[in-house]
Structure 1
Amino acid sequence: MRPPKDRPNTRFHGRVENAADTCAHPGCDAPGEFRAPPLGDSRGKDSPPAWRWFCLDHVREFNSGYNFFSGMSPDEIDAAQRPYAGWERETRAFAHTGADRPPRWGDFDDPLDAIGARFRQAAPKQRADGKPLSGENRRDLGTLGLSADADRKALRQRYTELVHRYHPDRNGGDRSHEGQLQKVIDAYQRLRKAPAFA
């Protein structure tokens, strides 16, 4: 939409039209359509700062008087202007725990083969009997420490072993493993009803 001919250049970045406040500059009654930082620290304990609002002419005047380096020593100014300012700080390495590392592109002649290999690595192992396992079933098998090919007998044996290990009546009244015991019980109850173990 184009501005009306009687109001040229009405589109400015940061303009808030129909502002309720008037310009904060003394003696100016134009609408305050541009936000500027507050004087001093007017921030309440649990509230954002109380911004000052200026008209276009006075926000331009405010911006022209702004000096980023105000109050800095010559050494601090020099340090802030260096091309690599901020890069000398040590940063943490990016974690790759969210996903497996992808295959190396150099190991493949065709980039599409590399992409396919990435997804083949991520595909979960299927059961030998072809019975389906949901993501929840796989997590429950991991809780019990079983492979995807475990059968109903292995499931029952592992459940019994873990209950004996974690139950307070079996380990001298030690209740520190009750959380793990509950996870084992919940996993077993879900798995015994799963199609792969029916």
Structure 2
Amino acid sequence: MSASFQYKPRFTDIRVKPPRPDEEQEPAEDVLRLKPGEKPCNWADCTRPATARAPKSREQLNEFYNFCQVHAGQYNKSWNFYAGMNEGQIRAAQENEAMTGGRPTWQMKAGPQTREAAAFAAKFGTANNSGAGSWRDSFGLFGRRVNADAPVQNDPHHAMGRLERTALADLGLEPGADKAAIKARYHEMLKRFHPDTNGGDRGAEAKLQSVIKAWKTLKKAGHA
């Protein structure tokens, strides 16, 4: 190549040139430095950003520590919700968790001294037998029954459901039948329609199945 040759690039020269001595070189970015909006990990001597939360204790479930993923896993391994509780307290806490999910509950019925009860009494009166502005609460749905000492009369029509009343009808009994009458009628009809005791009549097999089904229904409901 001749000494008179001069390099002339057709495009912009993109070769990296070394910095001049008078230029200050920017420091390398610290990858462990917290970015704006990030919280530090609460673990001792940890400089990583926090990406997970963990409750502080059983009594402080709404207060949290901020941990990185590594220390959140270590904290969870040592976490014991039932620490310091005896066996009875643990069982009660587990039952409460199963019933309500550990959330607080409130009684839906208003007490006699509440503002709602006073407003109801002002509008409808009180639950008693007679008098102006009174009403009768025979079933005790809104307070104490009118006569709390009187025994409650169980109406068999209300105590039995539709399936139980249908089962009694299949046995030819009324809803007021007691356990002894139900059992006696079942054995009577079982003997009447069973193929081994009715001379081999196979036509009564469907009736026998309905009798057995009715007996099982009443027995399961506690009426037999």
**TM, length-normalised to structure 1:** 0.34
For CA contacts below 8 A with separation 6 or more, give which structure has more relative contact order: 1
**TM, length-normalised to structure 2:** 0.30
Structure with greater Cα Rg:
2
